[in-house]
Amino acid sequence: MKDKIINTVYPQRCFVCMDFTKNEYNICHECLTKMEYINTPTCLKCGLPVFKCQCEKRYYHFKKFTAPFKNEGAMQKGIYNLKFNGFKSAAVFYGRAMAQIISIKFKKINFDYICPVPMGKIKKLCRGYNQSAILAENTAKFLNEINKTNAEKENKAFNKIIYNEDLLIKCKRTKTQHKVLYEERWTNLRNSYKVNPKYNLSGKTILLIDDIKTTGATLDECSRTLLLKGAKAVYCSAALVGY
């Protein structure tokens, strides 16, 4: 509560260390130097370093995954403050970083929709917002800007990616994922999501956004749900990936 009050009264604070900053993305210079960018070759399927690839052990319904940062250090603390301490401005920084890596790793993919991993009604009511939705909205904004600039340079038509927060709906209460064992995570979420009936996903390519990927179980179940409703393919991204 104290952190939320501080963030409201003094909005120009670094979303990592909470010191004052005038940086447009609300992160101070010192914390910028502590960013843990992923700088090793990674598997484009599970998102892990190639020497830790899990794809032979686990089938994923999504096509590919990418993330800009490791789930540790300053970037982990920033996501924590976004999720629990009201630092929603952090989503601008992370969304921009995610858009940049997506534009590189998924360069030739034409997405129809961007949507977040949904949050249950009670949990969203308690927190006040879905951090994955704020990340997805900012990712969509920056990705459309990048794509528009590239289209103008190449003299091509620009196809705007549509952001839909309510494309997926959490329809069943489940245990919090980080509180259950690894194998249980894959059954804990089974059939807990549904596609909003107002959307026709036939032949659509979806970009699914979450805050952190650990096992990939949440992204996988959401992807499975989207594919069952006719989506052509699902690609995923998160701000952080855990090794």
Residue bearing tokens 């970009």 = 207
User: Model pTM?
Assistant: 0.91
Q: What is the dihedral of CA 101, 102, 108, 113, to 10 degrees?
A: -170
pLDDT reported for residue 69: 96
Res 190: pLDDT: 84
CA–CA gap between residue 107 and residue 234 (Å, rounded): 15
Q: What is the CATH number of domain 2-241?
A: 3.40.50.2020
Place of tokens 């484009």: 44
More confident residue, 191 or 115: 115
Confidence (pLDDT) at 213: 95
Cβ atoms of 237 and 101 within 8 Å: the answer is yes
| Mean pLDDT score across all residues of the chain | 90
Q: Tokens 């927060």 sit at which residue? A: 165
User: For residue 116, what is the enclosing H or E element?
Assistant: strand 113-116
Give SS3 for 125: helix
The residue extents of the domains of the chain are 2-241
The enclosing H or E element of 205 equals strand 205-213
Sorting pLDDT into bands at 50, 70 and 90, what band is 175? low
Q: Is the pLDDT of residue 40 over 90?
A: no
Dihedrals phi, psi of 70, to nearest 5 degrees: -80, 155
Instruction: Report residue 177's pLDDT band, with 50, 70 and 90 as the boundaries.
Output: low
Read off the pLDDT of residues 102-111 as tens digits, 9 standing for 90 and up. Answer: 999 999 899 9
Question: pLDDT tens, 47-67?
Answer: 888 998 988 888 899 999 999
Reference 117, options 225, 196, 209; nearest CA is 209
Read off the pLDDT of residues 113-131 as tens digits, 9 standing for 90 and up. Answer: 999 999 999 999 999 999 9
pLDDT value of residue 172: 81
What residue type is assigned to position 159 of the chain? N
| Cα–Cα distance list, 28 to 33, 145, 167 (Å) | 9, 25, 35
